[in-house]
Amino acid sequence: MARLTISLVARLWKNGLPARHGDDGCAGLYFKITGTKAASWVLPYQLNGKRSEMGLGSYPSLSLAGARETALEQRKFVRVDRIDPLAHRRAERSKMQAQTTKQRTVRQLIDEYFKVQSPGWGYRTAYIYANIMKNHVLPVIGEVLVGDVTIALVREVLDPIWIVKPTLAQEIQKTLAQLFEYAEVYGLRAGNPARGIQKYLPKQARGGHRKALPYQQMPALVAGLREIQARPWHRGVDREAVHAARAEGKSFGQIGREFGTTAQAARKLYVTQRPLDYGKLRAYALEFLILTGPPRTGEILAIQWQDIDLERKVLIMPRSRMKVKEGDDDHIVPLTTRVLEIVDELKHVRRGDYLFPGSKQGRKPSDPDLPRTKPLPAGVVGLPMYESSLLSLLRNEMGRSDFDVHGIRKSFTNWAYASGRFREIAVELSLDHAYGNKVHRAYRDDQLVEERRELLQAWQDYCDRGSSVDVIRLPIGESKVCAA
């Protein structure tokens, strides 16, 4: 065994004669040649009576000096620490790989959390999550490593909107707390920088219940909705007239000139459905909501045609689509005469499976920076109307900013209690509220459909006639009026 030198090692490597050359300068180190310019460093060792050999690295990536230094470190594991150097190296590599895996950005965490949680979310929850992340979180901390997010960075997200948009800010704080709790559980970081932070932020203006329209004004609102509903479903050239002209043998050029448009526009109108007046459709949706209990906006817009039983004159809303998901019973809504008229009118413009379809019936390409929104139920055709559509109708088309859509629930409740004609249980069941204690609910399997039908028909009559309906005010405490 000779002492290896830099020049000798280089010469042996170039010659490529397969052999093992021991190094007198470092006991146990060998230079192993397997071919022309193919060589590596190896270190045989013995531990607990078992002989093994480990590779230290290839030459010339690992130089002679580097090989000697590495061999001394590995021999120390065997002779001093009594540790198998191969097992130690595997453990270190595994640890390093785990640490590398944990180095995820907030953007990657947002995507991962969505994939795990979204199967249990509704369409709107997925939509809100994607949008608040895109608009408020990703621009600020999207590229920050999950483990590096601090309270100060969370405040950079919340501070600009904490006072001016308190409800939105609270929603973002809650979502971030859940996001980083997920990261904690899976060892992606230590501590949750968003948990409890709201206690130490500036005090927000006190909110309150959703603004309700005084029930005395409901007839005027319904009259305004019916004015919008009186508009034609389609604006511009009548598609039926185009079809009639084609049946007479007219060319698209002739039809275009006749109706003051182009031949291309006439052809497109002939082969495609004309856009609906979605303002009119929203007016129907809002009146439907008012006269059916009223349910929450998302519950109304999720209604599918198959949910309506015209023979029994009821709407059956699956419990899975309701805000309150506990219980096995679906929510049954008796349909009044006016609601049935609305359903009959909507048959003429049916598009897909939703009673109130959205204006966009194909999905837009997803933002590559965001997780995809939750897929709609299998086999369902079309997309529902956006929840913001009804509020947009009130604000933009009717100029009403004095109440919220959700507040209509309280308007109905106030009217029902003020009338003094109906039992409290019928009112609360109409709103899909739990009524009575657990024992009462366990032994009650009747949803009082016919009693609630009478209640809703009286509500419809009031909305139709308003002042001609006598309302007797009763001394009912505010605690009974709950429209959550």
**Over the stretch 316-354, which tens digit does the pLDDT of each residue have?**
999 888 887 776 688 899 999 999 999 999 998 888 899
Q: How big is the chain, counted in residues?
A: 484
CATH architecture under which domain 6-101 falls: 2-Layer Sandwich (3.30)
What average pLDDT does this structure show over 407-411?
93
Whether 208 has a pLDDT exceeding 90, the answer reads no
pLDDT, tens digit, 9 for 90 and up, residues 372-406: 444 556 678 888 888 889 999 999 999 998 998 99
At 439, the pLDDT band (50, 70, 90 cuts) reads very low
For residue 175, name the pLDDT band (cuts at 50, 70, 90). very high
Which tokens sit at 64? Answer: 């002679």
Q: 155-159, 341-345, 419-423, 471-475 — which is least confidently predicted? A: 471-475
Q: What is the mean pLDDT of residues 195-221?
A: 85
What does 395-408 look like in DSSP terms, one character per residue?
Answer: IIIS---SS-STTH
Q: Is the pLDDT of residue 104 over 70?
A: yes
Count Cβ atoms within 10 A of the Cβ of residue 316 and give its class: 0-12 exposed, 13-18 middle, 19 or more buried: middle
CATH of 278-480, one of 1.20.120, 1.10.3470, 1.10.443, 3.40.50: 1.10.443
For the cut 60, the answer to whether the pLDDT of residue 282 exceeds it is: yes
Helix 278-291 to helix 218-229 angle (10° resolution) is 150
pLDDT in tens, 360-374: 654 443 444 445 444
Domain boundaries, the chain: 6-101, 106-200, 234-271, 278-480
Q: 135: buried, middle or exposed (CB in 10 Å: 19+, 13-18, 0-12)?
A: exposed
Q: What is the pLDDT of residue 42?
A: 93
Q: What pLDDT shows up at residue 230?
A: 92
- pTM of the complete model: 0.58
The pLDDT mean for the chain works out to: 84
Considering only 59-68, 242-251, 272-281, which range has the smallest mean pLDDT?
A: 272-281
pLDDT at 262 over 70: yes
Q: CATH homologous superfamily for 106-200?
A: Tyrosine recombinase, N-terminal domain (1.10.150.130)
- Cα-to-chain-centroid distance, residue 396: 26
Distance of alpha carbon 410 from alpha carbon 296, whole angstroms: 11
Return the percentage of the chain with pLDDT > 70, whole number: 83
Residue 71 pLDDT > 60, yes or no?
A: yes
Contact partners, residue 94, CB within 8 Å, separation at least 6:
none
> What's the burial of 474, exposed, middle or buried (CB within 10 Å: 0-12/13-18/19+)?
exposed
> Looking at residue 246, what is its pLDDT?
87
- Per-residue model confidence (pLDDT) at position 335: 96
Residue 291 has pLDDT above 70, yes or no: yes
The conformation of residue 363, written as its DSSP 8-state character, comes to P
